[in-house]
Structure 1
């Protein structure tokens, strides 16, 4: 079992530390502030604040922030998701105190100067324009907006250029004052640093402040459980290739049925070339370059989907082949041999993926932020081991039914 140190500081910040003999430290601050926390009129603001957080504090300018870590050979980055924003860096263990100080300063001490806001607007707008020129990525956001219509989870993470160009320093300060606070964050570290050093560095850098109670997130349950209207959406985008996405709402991160979907998803369209959809659409019929399925679990809901790109003339045939593979999993349980092989493959993939210390640190940080639980690989393996063929068939029959599937096509 993975041995973590976990504790909570007087200022309310939770800390999770994974000791390691490595002389490279991966550390960061995960903030429970993402797209779903944006109010009406704030679309894209969580991501914009992520960019602006690097643009100056009371102690450092934007250039000084960059040089503080990179000047020591380290790397610093950040990303925004639907439910969180994460700032993190990789650096030699002997410079860990410096990294902790810089991370705390930018997250809790950024000033969001208006001059930097005006410059960064165009940077983010260029990012949006580039994204909109990539239909294979854009379709994911539009599809999620269809499934979660009327809820912030459906928002495009980047927002729109028109919206971003309206944001000011005051907007950034308002949003971050609500969410960039110790009691709404997790500090995480993987590396050869002792717990006392981490606690002392954080206590020195982060003050306890009295703030209003955090706003409750809008519950997805307030939306209709299922779409009852149109389930096929076709967008004329003039693309050379047709882009197709189909899927449905799925399970929250706390729902035990997500483990069966996890394995089903890997069987259908996981990274292995032996996935059923890759065999059916590419290897046997040469209809696509790639096809994959994916799942995501949020705190109170989830999504499962399939994506492929193909010649416009082949869309219907590809959809029939996908439907055939879904029907197989609904109608016939896996044999003991098939089930054992599927488990063996997924567990092997997980073991290899966990060997990336940076990605593993990001994973256990986000898990601790949202669930308060430690991420343990052996526990995940155990969940997979306990799955039965009937578990998988029950989930397939629930989620893969034709009348539950929504389809979006760009052509």
Structure 2
């Protein structure tokens, strides 16, 4: 892991010129993960300026981001906080690619085009140039000859000097000298087994950035925020499928009879729920029950009177006496009628009396 950190520090000092970008990489490698508030405190810069420095590092794949759901100790709503860390494997691959691309680009700057390339042999008379493969069959006593004018060909010194300059160019040599350190570190890393520094691994090795003294104690990010304890909430997988625990796997085998029984149970449960929802409220049920009890009690008293009168000892007066007694009993029952019924009877009698008075007035007028 130390070899990977050394390669990252060397790469950021070689390919990035801003001093604060170097400080960002050093701080992240020291604290393992850092949040924007931590970088703001360490660099003494505004978040807008820090993001402008972080974007080139992210594009170069030297740093990556991870999010965690956290909540303030004061009880505010939980929010997703973004942290920065260095993924070792991705950063090493990016540095290898950048070095190879740089070498290829520098060599292409000094590589001549096939149309402008100077050939190995030339004719001193007609100035024609030839490749060695083109003049292998054009040989005489003096050497190779020109097929245009027949003059003896001479070696092109300009082409030899150009090839020598191209292979031993000062800038290419200087680039190779500068990249020797990278070659040695990459070779050392390839011989080792560098562990992957994903977000969860970096979070486990984090070191908090101390805050300035406030209310008599040293505030840190740990005392300002607390992590929400939800399994799997803060685990971020990059390009990997989510794993399924074997103890959570179950196999259920059902038949058509089981399905029919379950369907019948669901229908019965739903019927009971609907019946319970359609029941009248308690206050309506109690009111109807009290009214029915009151009516039954009133009718019971009247019935008792009627029964008492009916069960009285009978004389020898015959059926007429029984009819008179029954009529008297009916009158008693009507007297003992409930209050609402008596009220209706009074209204009916008053209305009948008014109609009789109107008829009498009409007869008087006639």
TM range, normalised to the smaller chain?
under 0.3
Answer with 1 or 2: which has the greater Rg.
2
* The structure with more helix, counted as a fraction of residues: 2
Q: TM-score scaled to structure 2, two decimals?
A: 0.20
* The structure with more strand, counted as a fraction of residues: 1
Q: TM-score scaled to structure 1, two decimals?
A: 0.18
Q: Taking CA–CA contacts closer than 8 Å with sequence separation of 6 or more, which of the two structures ends up with the larger relative contact order?
A: 1
